[in-house]
C-alpha cells in the first residue's frame, strides 16, 4: 500500500499558470487576499474502525452456524448420518485447509494493522511538520505583506505628490508664471515620477520572486545542517562508548586489586585471631591459677578472721569482769554495746570517750584491716571471674587497684621519656604520636 501524504513543495502555488502573476493592486490597500493557506487532511484516509476485529473467528462462526442451522424451519435433520471414512477424511482435510487459510488471513490482518499503525504515526509526524512549515510560511508572508503595505503607502504618497503637481500644472495653464516653467517640463517631471513608481513595483515583484526561490534553498541548508548534527552526535556517542569501556576496564582492574587487598586483610585477620586466641588461652590459664591462689588466701584469711573474732570475744568477756571508776578512765564493756540506747549507756556508766577507746583498740584495728584485705581480694576475684566468664551472684565488676597501677606505671615512664626527648629533640613524629595517645587516654 503506497499512500501519498505529500502535498507538494513548501510555499509554491498549486496553479502553475498563476505562479508568475504576483501583482498587487495598488488601489486596494487590503493585502489579506495575497495569503494562500494550504489545507491538510484532518483524518487518515483509512480509519481503523473499517478493519474488522478477529475476522477469521467471526467468519468461521458464521459459516459453521449457516451450515448447521437449516434454512427451512420445517426441515428435520436426522440425528445420525452414515458416511464413509474416505468422505470424512476428505472433509477433515478440507476443514484443516480452511483453518490454515483462516489463520493466514488473520496473520495478514495483523500485519496490515501494524502497517496501518506505522502509516498513522507517519501521517501524524508529517501533519505536525506541515503545520510547523505552514506557520513559518504564514509569518513570512505576513512580513512580506507588511513590506508591500509600506511600499503601497510610499506609492500613495507619490500619487498625492502627482495630484498636487497636476493641480499646480492646471493653475499654471491659466496663469503666466515668472519662473518660465513650461507645460512640457511639468509633463516631463510627472513622467519621471510615474517611471519611479513603475520601477518600485517592478523591484517589489522581483523581491517576492527572489524570496520564493530562496525558500527551497533554505530547506536544503536545514537538511544539510541536520545531517551534520546527526553525524556529530554519532561521533560523540562513539567517544562516550569508548570512555565507558575504558572506565569499565579501569573499574575491573580496581576491583581485582581491591579483591587481593581484601584477601590479604582477611589472611592477616585470621593470623591475628589465632594469636589472640593463643594469648587468651595463656591469660585464662594464668587467671585460673591466680583465682585458685586468691581463693586459698581468702580461706586462710577467713580462718584468721574467725580466730580474731574468738580472741575479741574472750577480750570482751575479760573486760566485762573488771569494774572501773570514772576518775581512772577505765570502763566496762558489754558484749552488746552497740545495741544499747543512750539512756541505758548513761545508766550503766558508758560515755563517748569509752566508745572512741573501743574503736581504737588494737584488736579492732587488726580486725578492720583483715576485713578490708578480704574485701579487696573478693573484688579482685569477682573481676577475674567477670572477665573470664565465671559468673557469680555477688560479683562486683571493679578493676583492682594494683592492676590499674600496673597499667599506669609504664605509661608514666613513657611520658617521662617523652619529656626528656622533647627537651633534646622537640620535632619528632614518634613523640607526637605518643602525646596524641596520652591525650586520648590519659590513664
Residues 103-159 pLDDT 10s? 888 888 888 888 888 888 888 888 888 888 888 888 988 888 888 888 888 888 888
Rounded to 5°, the CA angle 384-385-386 comes to: 90
The pLDDT value recorded for residue 326 is 38
Residue 224 near residue 230 (C-beta atoms within 8 A): no
Q: What radius of gyration, in Å, describes the C-alpha atoms of the chain?
A: 62
Residues 151-181 pLDDT 10s? 888 888 888 888 888 888 777 766 654 555 5
Rounded to 5°, the CA angle 399-404-405 comes to: 150
Residue 443 near residue 407 (C-beta atoms within 8 A): yes
The pLDDT value recorded for residue 67 is 53
Backbone angles phi, psi at 295, to 5 degrees: -60, -40
- Read off the C-alpha cell for 171: 493653475
Region of 180 on the Ramachandran plot (φ > 0 left; ψ -120 to 50 alpha; else beta) = left
Q: Which of 367, 262, 269, 351 is nearest to 313 (CA)?
A: 367
- Burial class of residue 68 (count of CB atoms within 10 Å of its CB; 0-12, 13-18, 19+): exposed
Percent of the chain with pLDDT over 90: 0
What is the residue extent of each domain of the chain? 26-37+51-64+86-181, 399-443
DSSP summary character for residue 3 = -
Q: Which of 375, 328, 384 is nearest to 354 (CA)?
A: 328
Q: Which residues contact 200 (CB under 8 A, 6 or more apart)?
A: 151, 154, 155
Residues 67-108 pLDDT 10s? 554 444 444 444 445 667 888 888 888 888 888 888 888 888
Intervals of the chain under pLDDT 50: 1-56, 69-80, 177, 322-358, 391-398, 442-443
- Read off the C-alpha cell for 76: 428435520
The pLDDT value recorded for residue 319 is 56
Amino acid at each position: 500500500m503506497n499512500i501519498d501524504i505529500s502535498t507538494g513543495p513548501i510555499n509554491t502555488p498549486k496553479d502553475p499558470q498563476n505562479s508568475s502573476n504576483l501583482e498587487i493592486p495598488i488601489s486596494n490597500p487590503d493585502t489579506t487576499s495575497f495569503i494562500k493557506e494550504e489545507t491538510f487532511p484532518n483524518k487518515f484516509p483509512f480509519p481503523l474502525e473499517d478493519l474488522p476485529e478477529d475476522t477469521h473467528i467471526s467468519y468461521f462462526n458464521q459459516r459453521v452456524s449457516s451450515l448447521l442451522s437449516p434454512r427451512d424451519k420445517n426441515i428435520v435433520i436426522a440425528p445420525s448420518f452414515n458416511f464413509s471414512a474416505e468422505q470424512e477424511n476428505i472433509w477433515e482435510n478440507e476443514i484443516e485447509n480452511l483453518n490454515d487459510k483462516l489463520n493466514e488471513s488473520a496473520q495478514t490482518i495483523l500485519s496490515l494493522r501494524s502497517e496501518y499503525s506505522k502509516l498513522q504515526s507517519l501521517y501524524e509526524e508529517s501533519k505536525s511538520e506541515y503545520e510547523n512549515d505552514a506557520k513559518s510560511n504564514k509569518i513570512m508572508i505576513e512580513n512580506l505583506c507588511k513590506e508591500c503595505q509600506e511600499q503601497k503607502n510610499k506609492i500613495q504618497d507619490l500619487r498625492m505628490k502627482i495630484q498636487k503637481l497636476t493641480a499646480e500644472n492646471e493653475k499654471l495653464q491659466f496663469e503666466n508664471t515668472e519662473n518660465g516653467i513650461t507645460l512640457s517640463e511639468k509633463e516631463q517631471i510627472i513622467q519621471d515620477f510615474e517611471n519611479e513608481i513603475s520601477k518600485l513595483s517592478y523591484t517589489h515583484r522581483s523581491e517576492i520572486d527572489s524570496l520564493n526561490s530562496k525558500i527551497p534553498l533554505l530547506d536544503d541548508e536545514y537538511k544539510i545542517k541536520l545531517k551534520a548534527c546527526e553525524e556529530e552526535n554519532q561521533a560523540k556517542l562513539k567517544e562516550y562508548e569508548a570512555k565507558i569501556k575504558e572506565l569499565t576496564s579501569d573499574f575491573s582492574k580496581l576491583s581485582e586489586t581491591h579483591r587481593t587487598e581484601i584477601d590479604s586483610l582477611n589472611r592477616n585477620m585470621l593470623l591475628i585471631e589465632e594469636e589472640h586466641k593463643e594469648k587468651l588461652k595463656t591469660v585464662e590459664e594464668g587467671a585460673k591459677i591466680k583465682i585458685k591462689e586468691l581463693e586459698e588466701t581468702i580461706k586462710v584469711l577467713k580462718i584468721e578472721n574467725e580466730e580474731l573474732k574468738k580472741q575479741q570475744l574472750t577480750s570482751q568477756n575479760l573486760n566485762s569482769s573488771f569494774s572501773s571508776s570514772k576518775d581512772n578512765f577505765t570502763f566496762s564493756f558489754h558484749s552488746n554495746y552497740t545495741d544499747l540506747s543512750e539512756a541505758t549507756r548513761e545508766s550503766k556508766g558508758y560515755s563517748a570517750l569509752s566508745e572512741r577507746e573501743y574503736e581504737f583498740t588494737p584488736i579492732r584495728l587488726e580486725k578492720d584491716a583483715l576485713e578490708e584485705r578480704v574485701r579487696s581480694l573478693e573484688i579482685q576475684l569477682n573481676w577475674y571471674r567477670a572477665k573470664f566468664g565465671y559468673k557469680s551472684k555477688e560479683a562486683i565488676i571493679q578493676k583492682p587497684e594494683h592492676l590499674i597501677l600496673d597499667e599506669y606505671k609504664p605509661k608514666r615512664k613513657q611520658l617521662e621519656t617523652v619529656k626528656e626527648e622533647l627537651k633534646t629533640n622537640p620535632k619528632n613524629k614518634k613523640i607526637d604520636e605518643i602525646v596524641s595517645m596520652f591525650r586520648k587516654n590519659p590513664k
